[in-house]
C-alpha cells in the first residue's frame, strides 16, 4: 500500500491539473507530503478513521506541507463486513462484496493525498501583500475578479465555523470519486481493463450507499449532523440525486423480512457522461 500511495504522490503534479479549476487556484509550489502506512493495535474512538491528514493548521499546510497517515489494517477490516444493504441486483451485490476493499483503498488514497492536498486559500498578509494575482484571477462562477480572501488572523475554521470540517471532507470525497475515473490513477493501484472499470463503478456505488447510511448520523430533533464525513457523503448523494438527468434512483420496497426497505439503482452507463460532470461542477463551486 505504501508504494502505491507514494507513487500517487510522485505523480500528483500530473493529476492535480485534472481537477475542474485553473492552476491559479492551486498552490504555487507542490509540497510533497510525508506518507506513512501504519497497522493499528488499538484506537480509542467510536469511529476509527482509515486515514489521517495532519496538521489542521491551514497556514502550515499551505506554506510548509503536511503529513498523511494511512491506517492500513483499518482499510482491510472495513471491507470484511459481509452485510450489504440497499443494493439491488445480484451483480451489484457481488461486485460490491468482491471489490469494495480495493475501491476503498483507491478512494482513501485520492481523498487524503490529493483531496486534502489540493486547492489554495487566497489571503492577504499584514503588509497588504496577496498570495495570488488579485488583479488577474477570475472567479469562474461569476466571471468577475476575486473579491474576498482571508485577512490576517482569519482561518478556514473561523470563517466557516460549524460546517468547516464537513465542507472540507465533502471536497476531499468529491476529489476522490472524480479522479477515480482516471485510468492512469487506477493503473498505479494495479487495476486495468474490466477490473478497473468495475472498481470505478463500485467506488461511486459505495459513495451513494454511504450517503444513504449517513442518515443514521442525523438527529431530526435538533436538525444537526453528528459526523462531518457522513454529512459530506449525504451532500454528495443529494447533489447527484438533484442533477437534471438522474443517474440513480432509490426505491421503497418491502424487504425479505417483511419490513420497509430501500434499494439503490445506479446506472453505470451514466457514471462518466453525467455523474462525473455533475460532481466536477459541484467541486468547482466548493
Kindly list the catalytic residues: 112
**Contact in structure between 135 and 145 (CB atoms under 8 Å):** yes
CB-based burial, 98-125: b 16+ in 10 Å, e otherwise:
ebbebbbbbbbbbbbbbbbbbbebebbe
CA neighbours within 13 Å on the CB side: how many for 201?
22
Question: Which ranges in 134-241 belong to alpha helices (H)?
Answer: 156-160, 164-179, 183-188, 193-213, 228-241
DSSP assignment letter at 255:
-
Cell of 237: 448523494
| Whole-number Å distance between alpha carbons of 72 and 124 | 39
As to burial, measured by CB atoms within 10 angstroms (0-12 exposed, 13-18 middle, 19+ buried), residue 11 is middle
* Pick from 286, 277, 28, 30: nearest CA to 137: 28
DSSP letters of 115-148?
ITT-----BB-TTS-BSS-TTT-B-TTTSSBP--
| Whole-number Å distance between alpha carbons of 207 and 122 | 30
Pairing mode, strands 218-219 and 67-71: unpaired
* Pick from 199, 214, 124: nearest CA to 169: 214
Amino acid at each position: 500500500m505504501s508504494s502505491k500511495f507514494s507513487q500517487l504522490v510522485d505523480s500528483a503534479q500530473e493529476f492535480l491539473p485534472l481537477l475542474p479549476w485553473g492552476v491559479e487556484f492551486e498552490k504555487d509550489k507542490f509540497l510533497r507530503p510525508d506518507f506513512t502506512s501504519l497497522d493499528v493495535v488499538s484506537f480509542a474512538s467510536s469511529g476509527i478513521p482509515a486515514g489521517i491528514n495532519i496538521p489542521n493548521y491551514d497556514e502550515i499546510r499551505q506554506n510548509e506541507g503536511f503529513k498523511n497517515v494511512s491506517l492500513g489494517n483499518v482499510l482491510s477490516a472495513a471491507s470484511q463486513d459481509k452485510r450489504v444493504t440497499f443494493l439491488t441486483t445480484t451483480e451489484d451485490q457481488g461486485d460490491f462484496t468482491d471489490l469494495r476493499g480495493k475501491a476503498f483503498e483507491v478512494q482513501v488514497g485520492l481523498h487524503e493525498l490529493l483531496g486534502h492536498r489540493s486547492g489554495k486559500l487566497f489571503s492577504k498578509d499584514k503588509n497588504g501583500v496577496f498570495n495570488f494575482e488579485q488583479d488577474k484571477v477570475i472567479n469562474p462562477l461569476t466571471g468577475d475578479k476575486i473579491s474576498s480572501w482571508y485577512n490576517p488572523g482569519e482561518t478556514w475554521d473561523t470563517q466557516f465555523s460549524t460546517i468547516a470540517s464537513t465542507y472540507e471532507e465533502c471536497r476531499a470525497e468529491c476529489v476522490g470519486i472524480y479522479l477515480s475515473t482516471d485510468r492512469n490513477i487506477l493503473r498505479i493501484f494495479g487495476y486495468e481493463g474490466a477490473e478497473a472499470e468495475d472498481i470505478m463503478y463500485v467506488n461511486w456505488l459505495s459513495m451513494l450507499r454511504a450517503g444513504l447510511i449517513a442518515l443514521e448520523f442525523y438527529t431530526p430533533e435538533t436538525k444537526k449532523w453528528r459526523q462531518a464525513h457522513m454529512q459530506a457523503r449525504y451532500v454528495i448523494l443529494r447533489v447527484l440525486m438533484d442533477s437534471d438527468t438522474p443517474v440513480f434512483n432509490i426505491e421503497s420496497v418491502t424487504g425479505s423480512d417483511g419490513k420497509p426497505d430501500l434499494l439503490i439503482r445506479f446506472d453505470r452507463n451514466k457514471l462518466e457522461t453525467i455523474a462525473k460532470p455533475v460532481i466536477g461542477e459541484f467541486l468547482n463551486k466548493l
